[in-house]
Amino acid sequence: MTGREFLEVDSPQQRLFLERFKYMEIMQKMLNELPKADQNLCNHGSYFLAANSSLCGLAANNFFRNILHVRRAAIASALPMAVIPFISTAAVYEVFLRQPLFSGEINCEVCAVVRGGFIGAAVGGFYPVLMALPVNASLAARYSSSPLPGKENLLRFWLTVSQPVFRKMSLGVVIQALTGLYLATKHHGIYVKIIERMSTAGRDPEELQA
């Protein structure tokens, strides 16, 4: 099959991809016509949620270090706890909320808000705390900073160690959930503004994909 024949293949997947790409292109053009505040919130709002996720990771890391009496490798443990939650939260929010919203996959406000709250709580709040456990467990074992139990009591030991940290971080998880809800509401509001501008200009959003 030549390159020309390949480009001429008109499969349903290709048509769907091209329609979605065209829709997102038009949405981006309409977004550029909105006030700068809306543009900045739409393009960079998820970074605020991601930054809070880094703070949750650093706080959880500090709590585990104190409980396990880890005094060494402070930078080595803090760096991944700041960077990885930030990247993960921003990427998940982009892939599972912002892109589907502005590509026309979801237009239901409740669906967007629920997704935002779940991403904020699970990825932006709970995941950094969960990630801090193995990081500090490995450091505690490496530097023998705290006596570790045998295999038969291992699960009970880590549950006991984790409980106070998760209690302390519960407020952070709630804040992240509320932040995710807020951002999702704002992003859906911007999406509605774009749709309204399309309708005012006499361009039906459904026809844009034709």
Where do the structural domains in the chain lie, given as residue ranges?
36-208
- Number of neighbours of residue 32 by Cβ within 10 angstroms: 8
Q: Which of 71-80, 113-122, 133-142, 191-200 has the lowest mean pLDDT?
A: 191-200
User: What does the longest C-alpha to C-alpha distance in the chain come to?
Assistant: 71
Query: Would you place residue 4 in the very low, low, confident or very high pLDDT band (cuts 50, 70, 90)?
Result: very low
pTM for the complete prediction?
A: 0.84
- Say if CB 49 and CB 117 are below 8 A apart: no
- Amino acid at residue number 138: S
- Number of neighbours of residue 31 by Cβ within 10 angstroms: 18
Query: Would you place residue 163 in the very low, low, confident or very high pLDDT band (cuts 50, 70, 90)?
Result: very high
Q: How many CA atoms lie within 13 A of 166 on its CB side?
A: 13
Q: How many CA atoms lie within 13 A of 199 on its CB side?
A: 7
pLDDT at residue 69, as a whole number: 92
The arithmetic mean of pLDDT across residues 167-171, rounded, is 96
Per-residue pLDDT for 1 more than 80?
no
